[in-house]
Amino acid sequence: LARSISPAADHHTASRGAATADAAVPLLTRAADGSRCLSFLDYTVTTAGSFGAQLLYRNSINALLLKQALTETLAVLPWFAGRLAVVHQQGGRDAFEVVCTNAGVRLIVASTSTTQQQLAVLLVPEPGSRATGSYNVAASLMAKYALPNDPWVIRRKQLPLLHVYLLQLYGGGSLLLLTVYHGLVDFEGLQTFTAHFSAAYNTVLLTWQQQGHRCNSGSGGNGGCSSCSTCNVHGLNAAGASVSGISGLRDGVNAAEPPLARRGAVFAPASLDALALAVAPPPPDTLPRESFVAIPWWKWGLTFWGILYKLLVQGGGIQVRTFIISPERLNHLKRTATAQLRKGRGEEAQAVAAAAAQGYTEYDGNGSSEEVQQDSSSMIGSGIRQRRGVGGVTEEAGGGGWVSTRDCVTARLAQLLHSLPQRRSRSMFFFVAANMRHRVQPPLLASQLGNILFMARVYDVRPSEMQLGELAARVRLALDRDLLSEYSREWHRVKQLVASHDVRRLVSEMIIDSDPTKCVLSAQGPLVFTDWRVEYPLWKFGSEVPISFTPISFRAPNVVIMCPLSPLMIQTAAVTASSVTATVEASNGDGDNGGDVDDGGGGNRGNGDRGHHHVGVSGGSGGGGLSLQIALHCVAWKRLDKMYGSDLATFF
C-alpha cells in the first residue's frame, strides 16, 4: 500500500501573512491572547507525543469540503491550530503552554491504487481469516508526522499539534487518519473535536449537494473526472480517486451541530485546580502510589538511554497485535464472572453462619476467624486488608455483585499476561484508565478539553491464580471505591510539585523506576488498560459511520486499548472469537522513544457498561464486539506464542 501512494496535495491552515509554500487558509476567529490552556494535569503528559485514530470509510470524503470544514472547526476550537510555547508563570517559574497563534494544522491529501475492498481484507476480515502484512496502516503513513516525545523539539520546530491525513482509495472509499498532541487532549477531547469536525463537514457537504454540484462522472459514480474543477484543483482525479462518494449523498447526510453534550468545548484548567484542593482521606492501609518527580537536566540523557535499553535490548522492541472479540465471547465472559461471584457470595454466607455458630464474630472469607493470620495473597481489597471473600468484594463497592463486560475483559487479559514466566512468580499490580469528567463532584462537562484521566490501580494480585469473577470484582472495586480519593490526593501532590519545581522536568516515577516490576517500560512492568468509548455517530463523515476504527499510538509497551467494533464491521463480516492478528513494528522515528503510556483512554458512560443490555456497545453506537490493540515487548509475544500458539484469542 505504501508503495502505491502518490501525494495529491499537502494543505496547511496558516496564519495571515505566514510564509509557506502550502495553501494558506486563515482562520475565521482567534482566541484571546494570554488565555490559559493547559492545566497542571496536562503538564504530566507533555512527553507523551501524539495519538489518534485510523478510520476506513466505504463512502469517499471530498478533500475540498474537508478542508473547508477543518477551517470552520478551528475557528471554534482555535487551540488545535496553536503551538507549544514556554510561558512565564506567576511565582517566577516557566511552564509549557499551548498558545493560540493561528499557525494552523496540517492536512495531507493523497491517493492510491489500492481499493477499499483490498484494504477491508486487512481491516474487516472474514470469519476465521488471518490478516497478513501491516494491519495498522497509520504506522507507515503517519510515522513522518508523528510528534516526538520531547516537548522541547515540538516547541523549537513549532510543529503542528494536529494532523489530518486523507487517503483517497481507488474506485471509492477513504482512509482518514487524525493525530493530535497528547499534551493537549485525551481521547475524549479528540472525540469532541471530531464531533465538531464531522458536523461541519456534513453541513458543508449537504450545502454543496443542494447547490447542485455534481461530478461529470455522474451521480452514481465514485471516480473523479478531468473536467471537474474541484477534481483538478485538489488532485482527486488521480488514480481514480473519488471526489465525494456522490452515490452516498442521496441518503444519510444531515446538516447538524455536534450533540448537545459536545458543544461549548473549552479548556477550564481552573476547575481542575479546585479538584486538587478537595483531598479526601484515603482508605485505611492504602499502599502509596507512584507519582511524578522533577529530575535534574543532567539526568535526562541517562533517562533517555535507559528507556532505549529497556525497550530495545531487554525487550527486543515493541510489537502491536490487534484482536477482534465477538459479542458471543464477551457475553460468555460476563456470564462466567457473574456466576462465580454469585457462587462466592453463597459460600461466604454459609461460612459466616458456620463461624457465628462457633462463636466467631468476624469471618475473613477464607474459612477462619479474625484471630487466625490471613494469607496475604488472598486479600480481596484494592490495596487494603479485607475480611470478605470473592462474593463480598463488590458489595463493598456498592455493586451488588455487578461487574461490567470491560471489567471481565480486563481480568481475562490480566490472567493470560500474568501467566508469562517473567510475571507469574510474583504478585503484580495493573492500571485501568478512567475518564474523570463524570466521576468527580460536581461533574465536569463532557466537552471539557484537556487530559482528565486517572489510572485506577488494582493492587497486589496474582491474576493467573485467581478466578475470573474475583479479579473482575477487584477491577470494579478499584474504579468504584478508591478512585476519587486517590485522584484528588495524587493531583494535590502534583500541584504542590508544580508550584515548587520546573514543570518542564516532570517525569513519572514509573518510567525511571529501577525495579522492573514497577517500570511501565519493562517487560515485567505493570499493564495499562484503557477503554476508548468510541461514539461512532460522532465520526460520521458523509453518509456512513466508519467501517473500522483503529487506535494510533506511537508507541508504549504493556498497553491494551479497547474499542467497540463499528456496526458496519458486524454487517460486513460475522466476527468470531478467532483473532485478527497482525504485527506492527515500532518505528524508530521521533515519535517512538518511550513516552508516557496513557493513550488517551477512558470512557464517558459512568460505571463501565452498567445498564447496557448489549455488551461492548458504547452508547448504542458500536457493533457489539470489541477490538483489542495490545502492545507488548517482542520477548513477551514470543513467549506467549510458544505457550498458546500464534492465535492467542483462542485461549482468550
Write out the DSSP string of 418-457.
HTSHHHHTS-EEEEEEEE-TTTSSSPPPTTEES--EEEEE
Structure confidence at residue 637 (pLDDT): 86
Q: Which three cell numbers stand for residue 216?
A: 461529470
The angle formed by the CA atoms of residues 377, 381 and 384, to the nearest 5 degrees, is 85
What would the pLDDT profile of 155-195 be if each residue is shown by its tens digit? 889 999 999 999 999 999 999 999 999 989 999 999 999 99
Q: DSSP code of 466?
A: S
**AA letter at 351:** A
State residue 542 phi and psi, 5-degree precision.
105, -140
The residue among 79, 78, 97, 77 whose CA lies nearest residue 87 is: 97
For the beta carbon of residue 336, count every other beta carbon within 10 angstroms: 16
Q: How far is 433 from 454, CA to CA, in rounded Å?
A: 6
- b/e code 466-480 from CB counts within 10 Å (16+ = b): bbbbbbbbbbbbbbb
Count, residues in the chain: 652
Question: Alpha helices, DSSP H only, in 405-558?
Answer: 405-418, 421-424, 468-480, 483-500, 509-512
Residue 232 buriedness (CB in 10 A; 0-12 / 13-18 / 19+): middle
What would the pLDDT profile of 376-427 be if each residue is shown by its tens digit? 333 333 333 333 444 445 455 444 578 999 999 999 999 998 988 888 888 8
Question: Alpha helices, DSSP H only, in 77-186?
Answer: 116-123, 138-141, 151-157
CB 202 within 8 A of CB 253: yes
What would the pLDDT profile of 72-103 be if each residue is shown by its tens digit? 999 999 999 999 988 776 555 677 889 888 89
* Residue 238 C-beta-side C-alpha neighbours within 13 Å: 18
Average pLDDT, integer, range 321-333: 85
Domains and their CATH numbers in the chain: 2-274 (3.30.559.10), 313-329+400-651 (3.30.559.10)
Q: How far is 462 from 425, CA to CA, in rounded Å?
A: 9
What would the pLDDT profile of 130-163 be if each residue is shown by its tens digit? 443 334 555 566 677 778 878 888 888 999 999 9
Model-level pTM? 0.77
Structure confidence at residue 377 (pLDDT): 33
What would the pLDDT profile of 457-482 be if each residue is shown by its tens digit? 898 889 888 999 999 999 998 888 87
What would the pLDDT profile of 217-230 be if each residue is shown by its tens digit? 333 334 444 444 44
Average pLDDT, integer, range 582-604: 37
